[in-house]
């Protein structure tokens, strides 16, 4: 277990102090009457408890964030102006620096750029869990130069995820899905070690199925990881689907050909077909296990849930997670989007905001941005 992260509550007199807060306001925007506006302000609202508290204590607060991928160049498309407008509607009197990624020094972790950010500030707070797996300048440099602390959301994300891994109420059931085995193999390994049952679904499951000697047609497949999947299956903790929904692969998936018949496959998928969702027997079997859970950690959809023909598996799992009496943690952009799509977001105990950051925290038990805070002087 890592030592605790430093809290900003130890600063007892913030009156008149200048506080720099690294946030993750990388929010979706859309055009309204020719003007870009924030379409989902969840990430901004999530920081309000901290920002309001700092203002109440008399601090002068400046936030900084990355926004999109402008590749080190200022462009109007990636200006934080719409985010600043929304922030000031929700919390007047807070400054927001221009997009950190307008300067190539941000992603290069350039010490000079990092030092330029903290000039004139008294304190630094990292409230950007979703960016803390990246060794970028705004995450790594300020803790070397200013008294620094973890914001309350960052603290909560870390203690919830690590708490579930280190001290779960059992049985601890992990669910992993999504497209690629190679992206999820490391976290699956850790979960096989820590959890009692690991349910594998989504496109990544087909490589596990292939490793069991089944035919998978033209479903997603990663030849380089067959041995790794076979090795994980030997633990007997891993559950894989026993049926699939899919299409004949000469039918053009993705072209929204709603008239194409959806086929239910058993354990084997014919050569001319592909699996795009877990089938009803798998959904029911997985849901039964999830009902018994003491702790649930879910990352990654069970199928191509963006297409309503292949959303049933992900929805069944989302409902089982929502209804389970176990403590439920849902992480990763796609699983969170699925919970929202099925209007079940409020039914889970904890929604982790950082996709890549939650994966890396589970995998490594720590993140570069957290280490920087723990090593901070003052």
> CB-wise, 152 or 203, nearer to ligand AMP?
203
Residue 337 CA, chain-centre distance (Å), reads 10
Which residue's CB is nearer to ligand AMP, number 168 or number 201? 201
Q: Is 333 a catalytic residue?
A: yes
With a CB cutoff of 8 Å and minimum separation 6, the contacts of 312 are 245, 277, 280, 283, 303
Exposure on the CB side of residue 138, measured as CA atoms within 13 A: 28
Catalytic residue among 85, 180, 214, 371: 180
Q: Answer yes or no whether residue 114 interacts with ligand AMP by CB under 6 A.
A: no
* Furthest C-alpha separation in the chain: 69
Place of tokens 């901290």: 50
Q: Helices 226-233 & 181-194, crossing angle to 10 degrees?
A: 20
Q: For ligand AMP, give the closer residue by CB, 47 or 283.
A: 283
Catalytic option among 68, 294, 356, 365? 356
Active site annotation includes 43: yes
Pick the binder of ligand AMP from 178, 241, 331, 354 (CB under 6 A).
178
Phi then psi for 128, rounded to 5 degrees? -115, 70
C-alpha closest to that of 264 among 288, 281, 284: 281
- Cβ atoms 145, 116 nearer than 8 A: no
- Residue 95 or 183 having the CB closest to ligand AMP: 183
- What kind and span of H or E run contains 48? helix 48-56
- Asked if 202 is an active-site residue, the reply is no
Q: Tokens for 376?
A: 């901070």
Task: Point out the catalytic residue in the list 17, 333, 365, 371.
Answer: 333
- Which 298-337 residues touch ligand AMP, going by CB under 6 A? 300-301, 303-304, 306, 332, 334
| 365 tagged catalytic | no
Single out the segment in contact with ligand AMP by CB under 6 A; choices: 53-61, 179-187, 230-238, 256-264: 179-187
The residues in 194-223 that bind ligand AMP, with binding defined as CB under 6 A, are 202-203, 220
Least distance in angstroms from the C-beta of 97 to ligand AMP: 30
Residues that bind ligand AMP (CB under 6 A): 178-180, 183, 202-203, 220, 275-276, 300-301, 303-304, 306, 332, 334
Annotated catalytic sites, by residue? 43, 180, 333, 356
């Amino acid at each position: 277990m890592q030592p605790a992260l430093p809290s900003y509550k130890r600063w007892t007199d913030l009156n008149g102090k200048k506080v720099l807060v690294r946030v993750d306001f990388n929010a979706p925007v859309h055009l309204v009457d020719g003007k870009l506006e924030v379409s989902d302000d969840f990430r901004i609202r999530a920081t309000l408890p901290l920002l309001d508290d700092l203002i109440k204590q008399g601090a002068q607060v400046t936030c900084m964030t990355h926004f999109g991928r402008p590749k080190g160049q200022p462009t109007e498309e990636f200006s934080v102006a719409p985010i600043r407008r929304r922030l000031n509607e929700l919390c007047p009197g807070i400054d927001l620096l221009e997009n950190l990624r307008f300067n190539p020094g941000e992603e290069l972790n350039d010490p000079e750029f990092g030092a330029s950010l903290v000039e004139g500030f008294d304190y630094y707070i990292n409230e950007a869990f979703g960016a803390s797996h990246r060794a970028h300048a705004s995450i790594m440099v300020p803790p070397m130069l200013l008294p620094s602390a973890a914001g309350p959301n960052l603290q909560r994300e870390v203690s919830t995820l690590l708490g579930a891994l280190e001290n779960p109420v059992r049985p601890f059931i992990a669910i992993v899905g999504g497209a690629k085995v190679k992206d999820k193999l490391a976290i699956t390994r850790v979960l096989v070690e820590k959890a009692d049952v690991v349910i594998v679904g989504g496109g990544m499951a087909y490589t596990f199925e292939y490793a069991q000697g089944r035919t998978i047609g033209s479903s997603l497949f990663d030849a380089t990881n067959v041995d790794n999947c076979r090795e994980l299956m030997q633990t007997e903790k891993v559950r894989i689907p026993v049926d699939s929904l899919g299409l004949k692969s000469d039918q053009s998936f993705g072209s929204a050909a709603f008239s194409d018949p959806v086929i239910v496959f058993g354990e084997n998928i014919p050569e001319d077909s592909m699996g795009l969702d877990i089938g009803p027997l798998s959904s029911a079997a997985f849901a039964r296990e999830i009902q018994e859970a003491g702790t649930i950690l879910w990352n990654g959809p069970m199928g191509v849930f963006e297409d309503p023909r292949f959303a049933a598996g992900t929805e069944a799992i989302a409902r089982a997670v929502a209804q389970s009496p176990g403590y439920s943690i849902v992480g990763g952009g796609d699983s969170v989007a699925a919970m929202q799509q099925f209007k079940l977001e409020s039914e889970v105990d904890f929604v982790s905001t950082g996709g890549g950051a939650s994966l890396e925290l589970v995998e490594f038990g720590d993140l570069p941005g957290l280490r920087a805070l723990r090593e901070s002087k003052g």
